Amino acid sequence: MSVKEYAVVTGASSGIGAATARLLAKNGYHVIAAARREDRLAQLAKEDSNIEPFILDVTDQKSIEGLAAHLKGKPVSILVSNAGGAFDALAVTDADPELWMKTYEVNVVGSVRMVAAITPIMKSFGRGHIVIISSTAGHIVYENGGSYTSAKAGETALARTLRLELSGEPIRITEIAPGMVKTDEFGMVRYGGDAERVAKIYEGVQALTAEDIAEAVRWSVMLPHHFNIDSMIVRPLAQAAQHKVHRVPSVK
């Protein structure tokens, strides 16, 4: 890089977002680590001088406009739209519509807001790369996950639509769809802090880590600019498909 390019990572206070911020910073990017939790971001920024914390709520348009104003005129070449999550594990017939709206607002509309705010800055710089962190849940549905699978399908559709609409622009679009990834918070949030229930999901499986997905992001964005990864599905070896997981009792 002739200049230190900027990479914006949302949901950077934990999990995949934090791991991605660390790895891109190690590879020479000035990383805007954006999330709501100021204390977590402050700790992350202490790890590397290339990481700049920024308090951001992707569901708040004014918050995003504040980030865009902060970045105006900067060499922003990467957006990793990672902020998201699952907030219930209910059957559709038992669904709480408020949780469905929250899931959609954070995952899909949050990504839309970020893309709309950052794309003009990338165009001013002369090139860019938008990475949407979706999920295999958006490709294949499963029981009791309707709010999350629907939202992630929306992100997959968003990435595909962007690729068509930005055709001819110097902006790459990549969807990265992780399968089973073990992080500290995802399952705990989804299952209301039920640690035993969360542990059952990963029992007997060497799941992917946040660092694994960060490496997929790093590889994608550091390829030559004419080389675009449209969509990458990343699963652990043990997960042959959404419902096909090989479990070994000794694995923890």
DSSP 223: S
Backbone angles phi, psi at 173, to 5 degrees: -130, 125
Question: 142 near 201, Cβ under 8 Å?
Answer: no
Which residue in the list 6, 148, 191, 202 is annotated as catalytic? 148
What does the DSSP 8-state code read for residue 137? G
Q: Is 148 a catalytic residue?
A: yes
Residue 103 CB neighbours (<10 A): 23
Q: Which residues pair with 172 in a beta bridge?
A: 129
Conformation bin of residue 52: beta by default, left when phi > 0, alpha when psi is -120 to 50: beta
Strand locations in 5-66 (E): 6-10, 30-35, 51-55
**Which two tokens mark 28?**
């020479």
User: Strand, helix or coil at 206?
Assistant: coil
Rg of the chain (C-alpha set): 18
Rounded to whole angstroms, the Cα distance separating 119 from 125 reads 10
Q: How far apart are CA 30 and CA 13, in angstroms?
A: 16
DSSP reduced 3-state for 161: helix
Which residues are catalytically annotated?
Answer: 148
